[in-house]
Amino acid sequence: MLIDPDKAAGKPAPAGTSTLDLALRAVEYLVQQSRASSLAQIAEALSASKATIYRHLVTLQKHGFVRQDAQTGRYEAGIKLMVLGEALRQRFDIVSAAREELMILRDHTGQAVTVCAAIDAELIVLELIQGRTLIEFATRPGTRLAFHASAHGKIWLAFGSQERTAAIADGPLQAWTPATIITKEALLADLDRVRERGWATAPDEVITGVNTLAAPVFDHRQILVGSIAIVGATQFITPVPDPEQIREVVGSAARISRGLTWQV
């Protein structure tokens, strides 16, 4: 009997399905492309045969994950992904529970307001209430943020699960700007300050000239379920923010937390 080359090389057995794996890679490939791709192109990129990819695309198209241009016959990502993404976003309790309060926060501060939640190892923007400025600094729903280089992230590291904080602090910390915190010591020291104060900032740490002021939202069990923040030019949200701004953000977060206590 021959020795399985995969097992011999120490690789664990696949355990999943390779057919599905290939199809999912096709979807991801199409989303990355900025224009529609030809069948041959996709097949070559994934090193699979045209026939195989073709059949997968037919099924993906049937479900709306992929669409084919009627004119050129080329393939591109389907809008089902957008629809499913929005459906998923709506499932987060905090989104509906917080909207009214966030509108008020936007009106009081004039700045854009964002809501984030961490799922496993990802920190994702769930909601954006646009500010009054013409230029938009804030990140849109569906965007992923870095834990160590965003005010939202620091809230989750300071008040979220310790395992996550330990994992992030130990891992490599990428520098987005010269101001990004990249050493474990500096990060942990900053988190201590965040815990003390109850709010976090990240001046110039993700984009130079932009600052964010974030505060935690807890549920009835005092478990962190979301973070809210105002986002704007450093000119409006200074590195040491106006006490009034801090009062507004922390106050809104506390009121949303209280709102989450009711609906269990």
Residues that bind its own copies (CB under 8 A): 15-17, 19-21, 23-25, 27-28, 31-32, 34, 55-56, 58-60, 62-63, 65, 67, 70, 77-79, 81-89, 91, 99-100, 103-104, 107, 119-120, 122, 124, 129-130, 134, 136, 140-144
CA dihedral 67, 71, 72, 75 (to 10 degrees): 0
The sign of the dihedral angle between the CA atoms of 158, 127, 149, 207 is negative
Residue 233 is a binding residue for DNA (CB under 7 A) = no
Residue 46 is a binding residue for DNA (CB under 7 A) = no
Cα(first)–Cα(last) distance of the chain, in Å?
59
Residue 223 is a binding residue for DNA (CB under 7 A) = no
Residue 64 is a binding residue for DNA (CB under 7 A) = no
194 contacts 158 by C-beta, under 8 angstroms: yes
Q: Which of 25, 29, 33, 68 binds DNA (CB under 7 A)?
A: 68
Of DNA, its own copies, none, which one does residue 31 interact with (CB within 5 to 8 Å by kind)? Answer: its own copies
Q: Nearer to its own copies by C-beta: 94 or 187?
A: 94
Minimum distance, C-beta of residue 63 to its own copies, in the bound complex (Å): 5
Give the interface with DNA as residue ranges (CB under 7 A): 13-15, 17-20, 22, 38-40, 48-52, 54-57, 68, 71, 73-75
